[in-house]
Structure 1
Amino acid sequence: MASSSSSTPAAVREMQRDLESQANALSKIQKDISKNHQVRKQYTIQVGENELVLKELELVNDEANVCKLIGPVLVKQDLAEAKANVKKRIEYISAELKRMDRALKDLEEKQNSKKESIFRLQQKMQAVQAKA
């Protein structure tokens, strides 16, 4: 009987180490989720700004001068080229948003799986400690 009780504290210590490792992994996943939300927020703002620019460009008549700010200098730009550039930017940012959405879904699944794993380990530890 003595060998059973001496292995129990070692088993509990091993479970505690595993629990700590899993908690650290969960913390990293949660930080990644938070970072994803921040980046998605920036992209969403950028899409909105670019859509406003495109609406403004649609209102401009074909003879109007369109300029682009490059550093401290305003450079004249062709209206069709300006519209095409803004549309490309919107497409690119929208694609990035979709990619971020997929990454977020993956991270949330990993988070849920890790939480479940931690919960099962905690239950197992409680059962082992209750027997001791």
Structure 2
Amino acid sequence: MSAALQDRLQTASTEFQKLQNDLAGAVEARQRLEAQLSENELVKQEFAQLKDSNTVYKLIGPVLVKQDHAEAKSNVETRLEFIRGEIKRVEAQLKDLEEKSESKKMELVEIQTTLQQQLASPQATATAVA
């Protein structure tokens, strides 16, 4: 019985570690998206300050290409919408991973408690007999 519990403990521990790694990756992705959102919001603010006489350029490879104001603003708005959507998706993923991680953590505690009780039982019996 103890060997089966130890196997379960090892499996659950491995699964918990994988969930923790996935959670760390999702947090990192969320941070990257927040940085991109911030950058694009700054660009949007800069566009709001531009006059029609200002020229907007877009970097395409090694070349700066002149771009229409409306098109540039539209591109930034589209990018912002996309990033916000990705943030929502990652937040949902984070919530799911946190729930799974908490569940796996509780399972680990339960297995460890059972294992400790089994290990303590023979010692108590041996002490009572002696």
Q: What TM-score do the two structures reach when normalised by structure 1?
A: 0.90
Aligned partners of 2:55 and 2:119: how far apart in 1?
Answer: 78
Identify the residue that residue 127 of structure 2 maps to in structure 1. Answer: none
Amino acid at match of 1:56: E
How far apart, in 2, do the equivalents of 1:41 and 1:123 lie? 37
Structure 1 residue aligned with 2:47: 57
Q: Secondary structure at the match of 2:65?
A: strand
Any stretches of 5+ residues in structure 2 without a counterpart?
A: 123-130
How far the C-alpha of 1:95 sits from its partner, in A, is 0.6
Q: Which of 30, 33, 44 matches 2:34?
A: 44
Matched, 1:119 2:91: no
CA apart distance, 1:104: 0.3
Cα deviation for residue 63 of structure 1 reads 2.5
State the secondary structure of the residue aligned to 1:69.
strand
1:84-123 mapped onto 2 (5 Å cutoff)? 84-123=74-113
Identical amino acids, percent of aligned pairs: 42
For 1:56 and 1:91, how far apart are their aligned partners in 2? 18
Gap runs ≥5 in structure 1:
1-10
Cα shift at 1:128: 1.5
Matches within 5 A, 1:4-83: 11-83=1-73
Deviations 1:25-48 (A, max 9, x none): 000000001001111111100000
- Alignment RMSD (CA, Å): 0.7
Tell me the secondary structure at the aligned position of residue 10 of structure 2: helix
